[in-house]
Amino acid sequence: MNELIKVDHLHKSYDQNTVLRDINLTINKGEVVVIIGPSGCGKSTFLRCLNGLETIDSGHIEVCGHEVNTTSKEIYKIRQKVGMVFQSYDLFPHKTVIENIILAPLKVQKRNRADAEKEAIELLAKVGLSDKKDYYPRQLSGGQKQRVAIVRALIMHPDVLLFDEVTAALDPEMVHEVLQTMLELAKNGSTMLIVTHEMAFARAVADRIVFFDKGDIVEETGDVKAFFDAPKTERAKNFLKTFTYD
C-alpha cells in the first residue's frame, strides 16, 4: 500500500476553539513530511489525532488502510503501526534503558525476551548508545534519553513514525545527535512525519513541507528549497522571517 496516512476534511475543536480546519493530507510510504508553523497552530493536536489520542469532530483519518476511530478496538492495532516520539521522552525512571525499550515488545507484541533484547542492543548500537543499556534514565543526558525514546518506537517496527518537536527540550549541544539519528532513519527509507522548529534540519530532511497556520494548511510543497528560499504565501514568509539561519 502506498498511502500510509490519509486525512480527509479533518475538523477538530476544543469547545468553541477551532484548532484544525478542513485538513487534507496524504503521506506515502517512504516519504518524509515536515510540518512547520507557529506555536498554537495545531501541529501537536494533528499528530495526536493520527493515532487516535484525540477525538475528531468530522472528517476521516486512515492509517495503513484502517480508519482511526477512537471508540474502536482497532485503535490498538493502529497504534502499533504508528510510532510516536514526543518532546518529553517519558521513560520509566525505575527501569533501565533496555527494560524501557523491551517493555512494549514483550507486553504488547508478546515477543520473546531474548529476541527483543537482541534487537534492542542492535538498535542502541545504531544510535550510538551501546554502552548505556543498563543505565537508568537519570544517568543519561537529554539527547541520550531522546535517542532511547526513538529506539523504543523503532523496536515496534512501526510503518510510520511521528515526531513532535523531539529536540525542543534539549540543550543546543544535544540537538545535533538526535537530528542526526532522524536523518539516518530518513535515509534508510522510513516513513516519517516530523514537527520541528529546526528550519535547517527541516530543509535537509523533508521530501515535502507542510506549513500550518491557525489550524489550516496554508502551504504544502515538494519543492522544499523553493519554500525556504521564496515561500508563496505572506503567512509563510512572515513565519520564516522569525528564524535566523546559521
Ligand X SMILES: Nc1ncnc2c1ncn2[C@@H]1O[C@H](COP(=O)(O)OP(=O)(O)OP(=O)(O)O)[C@@H](O)[C@H]1O
Contact residues for ligand X, defined by CB under 6 A = 14, 19, 39-45
Q: Which of 5, 27, 31, 44 binds Mg ion (CB under 5 A)?
A: 44
**CA nearest neighbour of 224 among 242, 239, 204, 238:** 204
97 vs 201 by CB, closer to ligand X? 201
Return the one option of ligand X, Mg ion, none that residue 40 interacts with (CB less than 5 to 8 A, by type). ligand X
CA distances from 145 to 33, 39, 56, 108, 140 (A): 24, 24, 32, 22, 6
Number of residues engaging Mg ion in binding (CB under 5 A): 1
Closest distance between ligand X and the C-beta of residue 39, in Å?
A: 3
Q: In what order do the strands lie in the sheet containing 17-28?
A: 17-28, 3-14, 58-63, 66-67
3-state secondary structure of 99: helix
Cell numbers found for residue 189? 527509507
* Residue with grid cell 527494560, as numbered in its chain: 99
Closest distance between ligand X and the C-beta of residue 168, in Å?
A: 8
Closest distance between ligand X and the C-beta of residue 29, in Å?
A: 25
Closest distance between ligand X and the C-beta of residue 165, in Å?
A: 6
Tell me: does residue 190 bind Mg ion (CB under 5 A). Answer: no
Tell me: does residue 196 bind Mg ion (CB under 5 A). Answer: no
Q: Which stretch binds Mg ion (CB under 5 A): 26-34, 41-49, 171-179, 183-191?
A: 41-49
Return the one option of Mg ion, ligand X, none that residue 145 interacts with (CB less than 5 to 8 A, by type). none
Q: What is the DSSP string of 3-40?
A: EEEEEEEEEEEETTEEEEEEEEEEEETT-EEEEE--TT
Closest distance between Mg ion and the C-beta of residue 235, in Å?
A: 18
Alpha-carbon span 153 to 229, nearest angstrom: 34
50 vs 151 by CB, closer to ligand X? 50
Interface residues with Mg ion (CB under 5 A)? 44
